[in-house]
Amino acid sequence: MNTPPPEGSAAANGHGLPHGNGSGSSSYLGLHHHDDDIRLHSPALRQSPPLDERKHECPEGDEPPLALMLRTVDFAAYKHRCQRRKDLDQTPYINHPVAVANLLSSTGVTDIRVLQAAVLHDTVEDTHTTIEEVIRAFGPEVASIVEECTDDTTLTGQERKAEQLRTAPLKSREAQQVKLADKLHNLESISRSPPVGWTVRRIQAYFIWAKHVTDICGPSHPPLAARLQTLYETAHTRVNGEYFPCHPDVCGPLTDQEKKRVDPRFALCQAGDNPCPSPIFF
């Protein structure tokens, strides 16, 4: 089994260097900005615990829902603190789980355990967080949903994709809801600002696979299933100045509205130009 990188490090997102998932990706843009990034390249240091480990325990007595939610966000923000998304802006990783929770909440999900699990859904897969830690901090129900949303990182990327398809119908309604929102946010961000280095073919392969997964999970939360269907039927991406349908089989023709939806910085670029404003870490 691979040893995960330091908690919160850029590559600890499971899509960088060390998980051996066969994705072939390397460090972000070949740049190393953080202490944690530098630590990654030393196997000994890779195994050392974070220097400023915090304890996240459940407080005594009743905790108001708002306080519980903020504590959950704080926990996830700490765990993902040094990670970045794979887009050109290297968006802070925590933006993704927060957006996933917001997609659920804004489409009518009120079960706080689902919203907490959405915020926490990548902590075990992509950082040193353990399920036991999530149980201690947030209880077994939230931890169980998080566990259902956690891929086995000892598998290759392709195996993980096959496993997600196989297990999607077996998951609880709550975990399926988180999956729907997770995929919706990934797909929206891929179409607007694809991960660095992704080709049109890779974007389309991701859309085709994600549709299989979300078609299975759709009945768990119809409002998000409808949003996903619209995305599959309309989403385009712009690569090297040209628009391409993200889902090659179900996508309709490119519309002016869709052109505007794609990141306007990219839409204004000519082939080969860098977007403006420049990505912050470029």
**Residues belonging to the active site:** 125-126
Residues 131-160 interacting with ligand G4P (rule: CB under 6 A): 151, 157
Nearest-approach distance from CB 124 to ligand G4P, in angstroms: 11
Q: How many CA atoms lie within 13 A of 156 on its CB side?
A: 5
- Can you tell me the distance from the alpha carbon of 166 to that of 143, in angstroms, rounded to the nearest whole number? 21
DSSP 8-state secondary structure symbol assigned to residue 30: G
Q: At its nearest, how many Å lie between ligand G4P and the CB of residue 227? A: 16
Work out the burial of residue 14: count CB atoms within 10 Å of its CB; fewer than 13 is exposed, 13-18 middle, 19 or more buried: buried
Q: Are 153 and 2 in contact (CB under 8 A)?
A: yes
Pattern 94-123, binding to ligand G4P, x per CB under 6 A? --x-------------------------x-
The footprint of ligand G4P on this chain (CB under 6 A) covers a number of residues equal to 21
- Asked if 153 contacts 13 with a C-beta cutoff of 8 angstroms, the reply is no
Specify the stretch interacting with ligand G4P by CB under 6 A; choose among 18-26, 33-41, 231-239, 245-253: 18-26
Tokens describing residue 201: 């073919």
DSSP letter for 281, please.
T
- Angle between helices 112-120 and 95-106 in degrees, nearest 10: 160
Q: Which is nearer to ligand G4P, 138 or 206 (CB)?
A: 206
Q: Closest approach of Cβ 64 to ligand G4P, in Å?
A: 30
Comparison of 68 and 214: residue with beta carbon closer to ligand G4P:
214
Residue 83 contacts ligand G4P per CB under 6 A? no
Asked if 25 is part of the footprint of ligand G4P (rule: CB under 6 A), the reply reads yes
Does 265 interact with ligand G4P (rule: CB under 6 A)? no
Question: What's the Cα-to-Cα distance from 34 to each of 8, 75, 281, rounded to whole Å?
Answer: 11, 20, 12
Closest contact distance (angstroms) between CB of 184 and ligand G4P is 10
For ligand G4P, which residue of 4, 8, 97, 195 counts as binding (CB under 6 A)?
195
Residues 3, 69: Cα–Cα separation, whole Å: 30
User: What is the distance between the alpha carbons of residues 97 and 106, in angstroms, rounded to a whole number?
Assistant: 14
- Chain positions contacting ligand G4P, by CB under 6 A: 13-15, 21, 23, 25, 85-87, 96, 122, 151, 157, 164, 182-183, 186, 189-190, 195, 206
